[in-house]
Chains A and B, each alone.
Chain A
Amino acid sequence: MSIILDHVNYIYGQGSAYEAYALKDISLEIKDGQFIGIIGHTGSGKSTLIQHLNGLLRATSGSIYYNGEDIYDDGYDMRTLRSKVGLVFQYPEHQLFETTILADVCFGPMNQGLDKNAAELRAFEALHSAGIPEELFDQSPFDLSGGQKRRVAVAGVLAMKPEILILDEPTAGLDPKGRDEILDRLAKLHAEKHITVVLVSHSMEDVAKYVERIIVMNQGSVMYDDSPKNVFRYYRELEQVGLAAPQVTYLMHELREKGYAVSTDVTTVAEAKQEILQAMQIGLPKEL
């Protein structure tokens, strides 16, 4: 189970005055069960990239394989692909349309051909794992808070039981509490149900805590593709393309410069705390 992109190019607005390369020669593999972060500045092509993964956009050249099958083959069933590769768009709450939350979440499973009962069963399960309390199920989705709406929208995709879940900026415009709720739910899904999760974001801070692999996009190409630890080593280069490493990375680098024996490879606050405590036990640098 994997998605392989082979030399994918995408040209936006071909033949018009606005012609531009949105993706340039992208080759990568998304393996089963991974938790991946795709990071890039606005306009780096990250949203364009993920729309290729479920066939919404067709590459200008290059091939994409899902489980070894070329998705551009004649007769390849795009609808099945779309139910296997769940894509949650940016501001997904804007796509809610039904009269009740339950009915809205049922939309996906019903499109898959399930009957009403089976779809509602799926919807129940999805809403539970999205953390929506049961007494809200029969309410209008438009009465919910922003964070809740978004989780309902995510549930709408989850109810289709995708093997891969891709989320475009799931935390945009949410307060810290709403952000942590969504990200924690995703981490739980990944751990318990072994779904492959791809998280698109422009914030390293959000991503560093959860993902095992980071793909950095810049101007339509893959700039780095590695573990968070290795990617953050390039924190100066990241700054040049309008990104930043997590704040702890900067802190550790500065401590290191001041002569403390800390590792600069930590990516989360918890790890940093550990490192600093250890360094303190060893003692202050001699020259101080």
Chain B
Amino acid sequence: MLRDITIGQYYPTGSVMHRMDPRVKLFGTLVFLISVFVYRGIVGLAVVTLFLAGVIGISRVPFRYMIRGLRAILVLMLITALFNLFLTPGEVLFSFWKLKITEEGLICAVRMAIRLTYLILGTSLMTLTTTPNQLTDGLEKSLGPLRRLRVPVHEISMIMSIALRFIPILTEETDKIMKAQMARGASFDDGNIIKKAKSLIPLLVPLFISAFRRANDLAMAMEARCYHGGEGRTKMKPLRYQGIDRAAYTVLVLYLLLLIALRVLL
């Protein structure tokens, strides 16, 4: 039931992208996010699109599977597009009643829709090719210098990896409790808003109880193993850059320079 959410899910294909150092992918995602807002004009859009298509191709994650993740933000995208369409001042294309569509609004709506789509595709590609553990490892290492400023980097990344780890568990649990209550005749999609909200109680109460129970168990298990945080902790699989990572960095920097050059020159 809740399996349609693809953001934050890992999709193993064993491609080059999957084997890359998570730091490269974090940096790459950042570069891509910047590029989505930096590009200008049709040429820029073409470069960004080509880059995204190429990276998706390399990752070997089925495109259909990635598109499914977009469904979750469809409503958000529609609302943004509508606001842009009707509320941007400019040259009126056509109007009816009090609403008017302007040329600027149309361009803005399309550009915004493209940006949002690319943002989601780009970021979900990172999580689809990187396990949560790798991701937090990469984040911890990348943010390492902040430790000098007394930022508890290790603790933050630990909290993140635990939170990420629990998403599928709690999703599964929700599914299970939903089914169990449905077996007792509950229904979650009948009636008006108040009735719907009420029908969530039999789902939410057990879910919260189980989340607390799991948190307790985990804390107990960590303490039983004398876990005490980041100081002096070593890694089983320390992150080391390979040739492929260096190549990826080069490509990313070139890509960003190209887009900036296009923006400045055109």
Interface residues of A (CB under 8 A from B): 13, 15-17, 51, 54, 56, 79, 82-83, 86-89, 92, 94-97, 107-108, 111-112, 142, 156-157, 160
B179 within 8 A of A: yes
A95 touches B11 (CB 8 A): no
In angstroms, Cα B206 to Cα A83, docked, is 21
Q: A17-B13, A95-B180, A97-B205 are in contact. Are A160 and B65 (CB under 8 A)?
A: no
Residues of B within 8 A of A142 (CB): 209
B216 within 8 A of A: no
A92 touches B180 (CB 8 A): yes
Residue in A13, A51, A56, A95 whose CB lies within 8 Å of B206: A95
Q: A96-B206, A97-B201 are in contact. Are A107 and B186 (CB under 8 A)?
A: yes
Q: A15-B64, A94-B206, A95-B206 are in contact. Are A79 and B185 (CB under 8 A)?
A: yes
The residue in chain A whose Cβ has the minimal distance to the Cβ of B12 is A17
B42 within 8 A of A: no
Interface residues of B (CB under 8 A from A): 3, 11-13, 64-65, 176-177, 179-187, 201-202, 205-206, 209-210
A56 touches B11 (CB 8 A): no
Which of A83, A87, A95, A96 has the largest count of B CB atoms less than 10 A from its CB? A95
A157 touches B184 (CB 8 A): yes
Q: A15-B64, A95-B177, A97-B202 are in contact. Are A157 and B183 (CB under 8 A)?
A: yes
**Nearest-CB distance from B198 to chain A (Å)?**
12
The residue in chain B whose Cβ has the minimal distance to the Cβ of A99 is B205
Residues of A within 8 A of B180 (CB): 87, 89, 92, 94-95
In angstroms, Cα B185 to Cα A83, docked, is 7
A56 touches B182 (CB 8 A): yes
| Nearest 3 interchain pairs by C-beta | A111-B185, A97-B205, A108-B184
Give 20 CB contacts A-B under 8 Å.
A15-B64, A16-B65, A51-B179, A56-B183, A82-B184, A86-B183, A89-B176, A89-B179, A95-B181, A97-B201, A97-B202, A97-B205, A107-B181, A107-B185, A107-B202, A108-B185, A111-B185, A111-B186, A156-B184, A157-B183
A54 touches B183 (CB 8 A): yes
Interface of B is mostly: helix
**Nearest-CB distance from B140 to chain A (Å)?**
27
Residues of A within 8 A of B181 (CB): 95, 107
In angstroms, Cα B183 to Cα A92, docked, is 11
B184 touches A111 (CB 8 A): yes
Residues of A within 8 A of B183 (CB): 54, 56, 82, 86-89, 157
In angstroms, Cα B184 to Cα A82, docked, is 7
In angstroms, Cα B184 to Cα A160, docked, is 8
Residues of A within 8 A of B64 (CB): 15
The residue in chain A whose Cβ has the minimal distance to the Cβ of B183 is A87
Residue in A86, A94, A160 whose CB lies within 8 Å of B210: A94
In angstroms, Cα B170 to Cα A254, docked, is 48
**Nearest-CB distance from B65 to chain A (Å)?**
6
In angstroms, Cα B180 to Cα A56, docked, is 9
The residue in chain B whose Cβ has the minimal distance to the Cβ of A92 is B180
Which of B184, B205, B210 has the largest count of A CB atoms less than 10 A from its CB? B184
Residues of A within 8 A of B205 (CB): 97
The residue in chain B whose Cβ has the minimal distance to the Cβ of A54 is B183
**Nearest-CB distance from A164 to chain B (Å)?**
12
In angstroms, Cα B182 to Cα A111, docked, is 10
The residue in chain B whose Cβ has the minimal distance to the Cβ of A79 is B185
**Nearest-CB distance from B207 to chain A (Å)?**
9
A79 touches B187 (CB 8 A): yes
Residue in B13, B65, B202, B209 whose CB lies within 8 Å of A15: B65
Residues of B within 8 A of A96 (CB): 206
Residues of B within 8 A of A86 (CB): 183
In angstroms, Cα B176 to Cα A51, docked, is 11
Which of A83, A108, A111 has the largest count of B CB atoms less than 10 A from its CB? A111
In angstroms, Cα B206 to Cα A92, docked, is 11
**Nearest-CB distance from B20 to chain A (Å)?**
19
A107 touches B184 (CB 8 A): yes
Residues of B within 8 A of A15 (CB): 64-65
Residues of B within 8 A of A16 (CB): 11, 65
Residues of A within 8 A of B201 (CB): 97
In angstroms, Cα B181 to Cα A271, docked, is 40
In angstroms, Cα B177 to Cα A56, docked, is 12
**Nearest-CB distance from B219 to chain A (Å)?**
19
In angstroms, Cα B186 to Cα A236, docked, is 44
